[in-house]
Amino acid sequence: MLLAKIKEALCGLYEDIQAEVKEIPEVATEEVVADATDAATDEVKPEASDAAPSKETRTEENAAEQKETEPEEAVEPVEVPGPKETDYKAKGYHLDVELSPEKIPEAAEILNREGFFIESIAGVDWIEEKQLEAVYDFNHFDELCRVVVRTRTARDNPEIPTISHIYQGANWHERETHDFFGIKFTGHPNLEPLLLPEDADFHPLLKDFKA
């Protein structure tokens, strides 16, 4: 129940990506231009949950149109970006939401509205891909629904907007992640070392850290 609701609400965050995915192969047709403006007006609406379902159906319609006009492109399975339901028993969480860094505060606001609380933020250093990942764990007090929001940022200049103004508890989690990984949470009121010494200029959980 809650899972479906939050999934639908979070779907709204993917509108522009979903729009992009279908815009690229269909720039030639005039209909799409009208469609794109529709999408833009949808986005202005503050209620993301309202916009999401209509958007989804539109994606399907478009996909159908696409099949008729350009069959060779439609054969290629395009994975529609969006929140993914996971096998809870195997993974330990219900919903996996991968977003670009600038969408994180928006996602936090949606989760906050639905009454979720933040459990933790975990950094992961993907050194081979030259990326740093931040994994936000959210949970709900009333109903079992674990939502994992994750984002990746460039390893040489890691920046993610803060959510500490939405979830005050994130303040320390972000400071900790900054300590260990050097991820800069932009807009954070006090990104000083928390667990490391106050003059620490190293980030021990980076894979290339040498003691």
Partner 1 sequence: MNGSLQQDVNQETFTINLGPQHPATHGVLRVKLVMDGEYIVEAEPVLGYIHRMHEKMGENRTWAKFLPNCGRMDYLSAMSYNHGYVAAVERAAGIEVPERAEYLRVITVELNRISSHLLWFGAYVLDLGGFTPLLYAFDDREQILDLLESVTGSRLTYCYFRFGGVYNDIDDSFITGTREFIKRLRKRMPMYDALVTKNIILIKRLKDIGPISKDMARRYGATGPVARGSGINFDVRKHEPYSVYPEFDFDIPVYEEGDSMARYMVRMDEIEQSMRIIEQALDKLPEGEIKPQKAVKMVKPPAGDYYHAVEAARGSFGVRIVSDGTNTAYRMKLRSPTYSNLSLFGEATKGMLLPDALALMGSLDLVIPEIDR
193 binds partner 1 (CB under 8 A): yes
Angle at CA of residue 187, ends 185 and 190, nearest 5°:
80
122 binds partner 1 (CB under 8 A): yes
Alpha-carbon Rg for the chain, nearest whole angstrom, is: 19
Which CB atom, from 187 or from 193, has the smaller least distance to partner 1? 193
Bridge-based pairing state of the strands 84-85 and 95-99: antiparallel
160 binds partner 1 (CB under 8 A): no
Residues 67-106 that bind partner 1 (CB under 8 A): 89-93
Residue 175 phi, psi (nearest 5): -60, -40
- Which position among 118, 147, 160, 183 is part of the footprint of partner 1 (CB under 8 A)? 118
Dmax over Cα atoms in the chain, in whole Å?
Answer: 63
Which CB atom, from 17 or from 194, has the smaller least distance to partner 1? 194
Residue 72 phi, psi (nearest 5): -70, -30
- β-bridge mates for residue 120, sequence order: 137
Q: Contact at 8 Å (CB) between 155 and 130?
A: yes
Which CB atom, from 15 or from 179, has the smaller least distance to partner 1? 179
201 binds partner 1 (CB under 8 A): no
Q: How far is the CB of 188 from partner 1 (least distance, A)?
A: 14
Residue 46 phi, psi (nearest 5): -70, -30
Residues 12-41 that bind partner 1 (CB under 8 A): none
Question: Contact residues for partner 1 (CB under 8 A)?
Answer: 89-93, 115, 117-120, 122-125, 135, 137, 139, 141, 144, 146, 148, 167-169, 171-172, 180, 193-197, 204-205
